[in-house]
Amino acid sequence: MARPSLLYQYYHSHRHLSSRSFGGFFFIPTSLALLTSFLILFYIYSTSNLFTHTHQITPRIKLPSGFSTLSSPSLFSAPISLENASELTKTGTLERIIGDGSESQRARGPQSSSNGQYEKNNEVFHDRDIFLEDYKEMNRTLKIYVYPHRKDYAFANVLLPVDFKPGGNYASESYFKKVLMQSHFITKNPTVADLFFLPFSIARLRHDPRVGVGGIQDFIRDYMFNISQTYPYWNRTNGVDHFYVACHSIGRVAMEKAPEVKFNAIQVVCSSSYFLTGYIAHKDACLPQIWPREGEPPNLVSSKRKKLAFFAGAINSPVREKLLQTWRNDSEIFAHFGRLTTPYADELLGSKYCLHVKGFEVNTARIADSLYYGCVPVIIANYYDLPFTDVLNWKSFSVVVATLDIPLLKKILKGISSKEYLTLQSNVLKVRKHFQWHLFPVHYDAFYMVMYELWLRRSSMKISFDDSMVFTTHNR
Ligand SMILES: *[C@@H]1O[C@H](CO)[C@@H](O)[C@H](O)[C@H]1NC(C)=O
Ligand SMILES: *[C@@H]1O[C@H](CO)[C@@H](O)[C@H](O)[C@H]1NC(C)=O
Ligand SMILES: *[C@@H]1O[C@H](CO)[C@@H](O)[C@H](O)[C@H]1NC(C)=O
Ligand SMILES: *[C@@H]1O[C@H](CO)[C@@H](O)[C@H](O)[C@H]1NC(C)=O
Ligand SMILES: *[C@@H]1O[C@H](CO)[C@@H](O)[C@H](O)[C@H]1NC(C)=O
């Protein structure tokens, strides 16, 4: 609030002067106060979209080669021209790079058009061409070194991949490690590695009676001590080329006694809320929470979606409380709290929209559930750093609703035309594959997408072993 506070100071210093020099003329301070109030109101009004659009995504600039084969141009009703930025036209280079104005605008997500309406970018990817190119490069070059541990080591159960097929709510963590260890990304040669994997499993530590919830922090501290004593790689970069993967929210406090992991390493976690201090957006990455399901749902194509919206879950947060209060008795938004009497799959197949509502954490498996069953997810979880948001344009296949707008939910959903809905839903079917795990990974599945997120975060420069480049160590 820089402007109002300056005005405030101005007003105060002038009030002082004016009351001294003009005695009874108090209309000057009064009018200045009024002016200040108007400016403050105007300021709040002009910046208020910061509060309502929590998930604005700014993708990268678009390259020329034919971008949009999938978009539906009719949805961009008014032609949009690039603003006349003199700096750009002077050199002409950016113009050349991004092609014509409308195309560059299209790559930027929702746009405010001349009639004040938000127009939607219906591409599933922020930039498909860049993604595909980068992905190929990632698949070809990314190398990961995993700190090795012997099978007979006392904590092998925590450090080595599980020998069963992961399932349930927190499966993503185990799935990732299991698939990674058998993949072509692994290298035994640390000198060629781009990234170093810290293979501890938060979920397994939690259930290990020798450690348990209360012992996780000490275990991580000791493990990091061991790693940095035994190998030179952590010290070399202070850990910026290291990562770990965790799905249970307990992982958030697991690094409390190893702050250098929290601040330097790449944390790939399900509870990716940028409201929380333990998660650092852009450095860290979201691991999608996925309840693994095999094959295809049997009746995806034939499903009749008669209900407007569906939610089922416990009331364990103020956000769900609000949903319950507002929509409990509604005939179109079905919010079930407590035990569901009908099969979950039928509800997801029978609803147009499926609500993902923040509980204890921003993340649940509901987004992946609804995508799997072809239901358009509605995300009511402020500050959720959504999975693969670097790559995927969430506005093209989901509806993001701020918690404050829960009372407007029906209006928002009914405001989406059936044509727009069909676009959303066909995009749901396009992105489903990114939210599925496979023991033998399939290109563009959850495993490869997480690898891509890691690749985006790899250090672009390898730091040499030269003594002159030793980094200052952290004071604990
Ligand atoms: C941009 O500037 C050029 C040259 O200065 C001018 O010819 C053109 O009409 C301007 N376009 C817009 C959209 O203002
Ligand atoms: C990814 O890399 C593997 C191993 O080098 C190769 O067999 C596969 O064809 C690559 N796939 C793509 C899509 O580049
Ligand atoms: C650290 O190393 C010591 C000594 O080798 C070992 O006893 C201990 O289990 C290790 N701790 C962890 C958490 O790796
Ligand atoms: C890494 O740094 C720590 C703390 O300065 C030090 O105790 C340790 O010996 C270093 N590790 C190696 C392998 O040099
Ligand atoms: C829903 O119905 C219950 C019982 O019929 C009633 O007590 C409650 O006030 C209603 N809630 C709303 C939000 O209409």
Question: Closest ligand 5 atom, CA of 325?
Answer: 13
Residue 253 lies in a domain: yes
Q: What is the helix (H) or strand (E) element at residue 252, kind and residue range?
A: helix 251-254
Residues 319, 325: Cα–Cα separation, whole Å:
10
**Which atom in ligand 3 lies closest to the alpha carbon of residue 154?**
9
Q: Is the CB of 136 under 6 A from ligand 2?
A: yes
H-assigned helices in 53-162: 86-91, 93-98, 101-106, 128-141, 156-159
Three-state DSSP at 281 gives strand
DSSP state of 215: H
**Ligand that lies nearest to the alpha carbon of residue 234, given by its number in the listed order:** 4
Task: Tell me: do 154 and 262 sit in the same domain.
Answer: yes
The predicted-structure confidence for 368-397, as pLDDT tens digits, reads as follows 999 999 999 999 999 999 999 999 999 999
Task: Provide the pLDDT for residue 143.
Answer: 97
Please say whether the beta carbons of 103 and 129 come within 8 A.
no
Has residue 193 been placed in a domain?
yes
Same structural domain for residues 311 and 418? yes
The 10s digit of each residue's pLDDT in 345-362 is: 999 999 999 999 999 999
Q: Using CA of residue 375, residue 379, residue 380, residue 386, what is the dihedral sign?
A: positive
Q: Are 105 and 111 in contact (CB under 8 A)?
A: yes
Closest CA to 193 of 153, 250, 246, 231: 231
CB 353 within 8 A of CB 334: no
Question: Can you tell me which residue has the tokens 């000057």?
Answer: 28
Separation of first and last alpha carbons in the chain: 35
Please give the structure tokens belonging to residue 387.
């999975």
Give the CATH number of the domain where residue 325 resides: 3.40.50.2000
pLDDT at 2: 43
Residue 117 lies in a domain: no
- For residues 286 and 323, membership in a common domain is answered with no
Ligand closest to Cα of 229 equals: 4
- Cα 138 to ligand 2 centroid, rounded to whole Å: 10
User: Do residues 153 and 258 share a domain?
Assistant: yes
Give a yes or no: residue 149 inside a domain.
yes
Give the CA distances from residue 57 to residues 125, 276, 364, 461, in Å, rounded to whole numbers and listed in that order: 11, 19, 21, 27
Q: Is 256 part of a structural domain of the chain?
A: yes
What dihedral angle (degrees, nearest 10) is formed by the CA atoms of 156, 291, 449, 239? -40
Q: Alpha-carbon distance 381 to 363, whole Å?
A: 8
- Domain identity same for 316 and 286: no
379 Cβ contact partners less than 8 Å away, ≥ 6 residues apart: 55, 356, 367, 386, 394, 398, 399, 400, 401
Residue ID of nearest Cα to ligand 5 atom 4: 329
Which amino acid makes up residue 101?
G
Residues 286 and 395 in one domain: no
Nearest Cα to 321, choosing from 400, 380, 249, 265?
380
How many angstroms separate the CA atoms of 214 and 223, rounded?
A: 16
What are phi and psi for residue 310, nearest 5 degrees? -140, 140
- Give the pLDDT of residue 459: 73
**383: in domain:** yes
Q: Judge if 145 and 278 occupy the same domain.
A: yes
Specify the pLDDT at position 46. Answer: 66
Instruction: Give pLDDT, residue 286.
Output: 97
Residues 148 and 259 in one domain: yes
Neighbouring CB atoms inside 10 A of 426's CB total: 16
Please identify which residue in the block is written with the tokens 């938060």: 202
Q: Is 226 in the pocket of ligand 3 (CB under 6 A)?
A: yes
Instruction: Identify which of 194, 237, 222, 191 has the alpha carbon closest to the alpha carbon of residue 473.
Output: 237
Strand order in the sheet with 376-380: 333-337, 307-313, 351-357, 376-380, 399-400
- Asked if residue 465 lies in contact with residue 232, where contact means CB atoms within 8 angstroms, the answer is yes
Instruction: Please give all residues whose beta carbon lies within 6 A of any atom in ligand 4, as ranges.
Output: 228-229, 232, 235, 473
Residue 143 and residue 274 in one domain:
yes
386-390: long-range contacts (C-beta < 8 A, 24 or more apart)?
386/55, 386/272, 386/286, 387/272, 387/286, 387/287, 387/288, 387/434, 387/435, 387/449, 388/286, 388/288, 388/434, 388/449, 388/452, 388/453, 389/55, 389/57, 389/286, 390/126, 390/453, 390/456
287 with 319, same domain? no
Instruction: Give 9's Cβ-side CA count (13 Å radius).
Output: 5
Same domain, 264 and 148: yes
User: In Å, what is the CA distance from 136 to each residue of 131, 139, 244?
Assistant: 9, 5, 23
> Taking Cα atoms as reference points, which of 144, 345, 125, 369 lies closest to residue 242?
144
Is residue 118, in this structure, part of any structural domain at all?
Answer: no
Q: Which of 81, 82, 83, 84 to mutate to test the pocket of ligand 1 (most atoms within 8 A of CB)?
A: 84
Number of domains in the chain: 3
Domain that residue 172 falls in: 139-291+453-463
Question: Does residue 84's CB lie within 6 angstroms of at least one atom of ligand 1?
Answer: yes
- Please give the Cα distance from 61 to 103 (Å, whole number): 10
Could you say which residues of the chain have pLDDT below 50? Answer: 1-24, 50-113, 116, 464-476
Residue 139 Cβ inside 6 Å of ligand 2? The answer reads yes
* Closest to 176 measured CA to CA, from 381, 400, 447, 465: 447
Closest atom, ligand 1, to C-alpha of 82: 13
Judge whether 186 lies within some domain.
yes
Per-residue pLDDT at 69: 34
Residues 247 and 378 in one domain: no
